Amino acid sequence: MAPTDQKPRPIVISGPSGSGKSTHLNRLLKEYPDRFGFSISHTTRAPRGAEQNGVEYHFVTKDDFLKLVDAGGFIEHAQFGSNYYGTSVQAVKDVAQQNRTCILDIEMEGVKQVKKTNLNARLLSLQPPSLDILEKRLRGRATDSEDAITQRLAQAKNELAYAKEPGTFDKVIINDDLENAWTEFKAFCLADD
């Protein structure tokens, strides 16, 4: 079960991989370290670049992930590409206990599940200006295999279509001009409600 009626309300940030979620998120966490806290997800994917266990993710084996699923330890979980990702009940509790606004960075299937819980999250979609630009960004970061890039682009199309459905997100931000997008992003996150 998700923790109920958290105040301040958690914020879900979603949008295609490569849309710039982490850039804005990291900036927010750096500028407002006492106000926001990141929900550290579990994933079965391998660490990328300088990622550290327990910081960006809890990196776990598929076995351990599935055990936590069986134990009811996740608020939501999904398969993305060939890996599993999930938000544990504990990850959200950890942030709430620090009296910080909990921020979840999750993909579309996770958003659908979160909407059915009593997490009462505010939902933000961050989107690339176009699929072409997204492809360039994914290739530019040079951390993913060709297969992973193809999968992520296919997934991006689904995510953008989902975000177009009325009422899916409270706010959509196009990450075109970085500073403009940051201003919108920050305003949404700082808005009290």
Binding region for ligand 5GP (CB under 6 A): 17, 41, 45, 76, 78, 80, 85-87, 105-107, 109-110
* Count of C-beta atoms within a 10 Å radius of residue 148: 16
Which residue is nearest to ligand 5GP, using beta carbons? 110
Nearest to 149 by CA among 139, 140, 158, 161: 139
Cβ nearer to ligand 5GP, comparing 85 with 182: 85
Cβ nearer to ligand 5GP, comparing 34 with 172: 172
Cβ nearer to ligand 5GP, comparing 34 with 52: 52
Least distance between ligand 5GP and beta carbon 38 (Å) = 10
Least distance between ligand 5GP and beta carbon 144 (Å) = 8
Cβ nearer to ligand 5GP, comparing 37 with 86: 86
- How many angstroms separate the CA atoms of 91 and 117, rounded? 16
Cβ nearer to ligand 5GP, comparing 109 with 184: 109
- How many angstroms separate the CA atoms of 113 and 130, rounded? 26
Least distance between ligand 5GP and beta carbon 12 (Å) = 10
Least distance between ligand 5GP and beta carbon 100 (Å) = 18
Cβ nearer to ligand 5GP, comparing 101 with 149: 149
Least distance between ligand 5GP and beta carbon 185 (Å) = 15
- How many angstroms separate the CA atoms of 58 and 47, rounded? 9
Least distance between ligand 5GP and beta carbon 29 (Å) = 15
